Amino acid sequence: MTENLIEAAADEAVTLTSELIRIDTTNTGDPETVVGERAAAEYVAEKLTEVGYEIEYVESGGANRHNVIARLAGADPSRGALLVHGHLDVVPADPGEWSVHPFSGAVQDGYVWGRGAVDMKDMVGMTLALARHYKRNGIVPPRDMIFAFLADEEAGGKYGAQWLVSNRPELFEGATEAISEVGGFSITLKDDVRAYLVETAQRGIRWMRLRVRGTAGHGSMIHHDNAVTKLSEAVAKLGRHQFPLVVSDSVREFLDGVTEITGWDFPEDDLEGSVAKLGNISRMIGATLRDTANPTMLDAGYKSNVIPSVAERPSTAASCRAASRRSTANWTNCSVPTSNASGWNCRPSRRRSTGRSSTR
Ligand SMILES: [Zn+2]
């Protein structure tokens, strides 16, 4: 009987995940254009109230930025509550780059497909299914549980978790532990060796916008002060720049741990070469060895035969990330040591200048 109930919850998790993916909750980072989170929050609210939850439905600092929080009483109120939280937004997806439409929520080949299927409508769907399973079947967990479905994670949480913690801390009162996405995962290093990684810190981030001024002119003429050319040079230089290696204590401890279970060495004089042995996660671990800067957006001009005086619009963004525990504060004036001779400047992007942190 219990097994059947769990199986039903598992089946429902697939349906819920698929239906959530069909709600386009793209978070562009521009509050003006984020609209889908509200529909997703309403969907979650309905699924919770349907089985008897009393929910808190909270708008977090901006129109359409909605969150849903529900509590389930546990057997032992003296124990701290467990917070299980997930975000409802997703990063943008271009359907042209997908073999399955990113907002189809298609279930095929034994998988749920779409944007958010792994980050993180899958976990939201599972959490929702379990919350419904508990309530429907009168299951009392050992301790209080708080389920939170949140807005705006993909743009830093300013209109989601951050707003809620600052403005509605009582919603999380009594919580002593929390579970959400990516705090740890496992990898197979060798045939018989599996490692379970635990996140100990996150990278800092500073998004920057580069702007170059030149002289406007016609594309048919000789032109020595072309803003697009200068910006391209700066972007290329920034993208190729290598920051110095800085191995933090936690990264060293991680590498030593891998040595212990695999016998692989990570000598200081060939750190990056040896980290490549880690396979799929080598790019992620490599990013903990040094700060990184990646140009991410590029646009300029308005007509193919006109040289614009400014190259920036709508933005030439660089995603600059500091390795764990290192500050991005000194990047405010772009300390990326690149020549400024060509007259470009680099400043924190208005859209997202504060510390979002992730390796993704
Ligand atoms: Zn996520």
pLDDT in tens, 311-327: 874 444 556 566 654 54
Residue 322: per-residue pLDDT: 61
Count of structural domains within the chain: 2
- Both 264 and 151 in one domain: the answer is no
Q: Is the pTM of this model over 0.85?
A: no
For residue 73, tell me if it sits in a domain. Answer: yes
| Strand 204-213 relative to strand 310-311, pairing | antiparallel
Q: Measure 358 CA to ligand 1 centroid, in angstroms.
A: 9
- Both 218 and 118 in one domain: the answer is no
| Structure confidence by residue, pLDDT tens digits, 268-293 | 999 989 999 998 889 989 999 998 98
Could you give the C-alpha distances from 178 to 74, 145, 171, 183, 352, in angstroms and in order? Answer: 15, 10, 13, 10, 26
- Both 23 and 164 in one domain: the answer is yes
Q: Measure 181 CA to ligand 1 centroid, in angstroms.
A: 6
Q: Measure 84 CA to ligand 1 centroid, in angstroms.
A: 14
Q: Measure 297 CA to ligand 1 centroid, in angstroms.
A: 21
- Both 239 and 117 in one domain: the answer is no
For residue 189, tell me if it sits in a domain. Answer: no
- Both 171 and 212 in one domain: the answer is no
Residue 137: per-residue pLDDT: 95
Q: Measure 261 CA to ligand 1 centroid, in angstroms.
A: 30
Q: Measure 268 CA to ligand 1 centroid, in angstroms.
A: 33
The CATH number covering residue 265 comes to: 3.30.70.360
For residue 299, tell me if it sits in a domain. Answer: yes
Phi, psi of 335 (to 5 degrees): -80, 5
Q: Measure 227 CA to ligand 1 centroid, in angstroms.
A: 37
Q: Measure 135 CA to ligand 1 centroid, in angstroms.
A: 26
For residue 353, tell me if it sits in a domain. Answer: no
Chain mean pLDDT for the chain: 86
Question: Residue 233's pLDDT band (boundaries 50, 70, 90)?
Answer: very high
- Both 138 and 54 in one domain: the answer is yes
For residue 360, tell me if it sits in a domain. Answer: no
The domain in which residue 138 lies consists of 2-181
Domain boundary among 181, 214, 248: 181
Q: Measure 111 CA to ligand 1 centroid, in angstroms.
A: 19
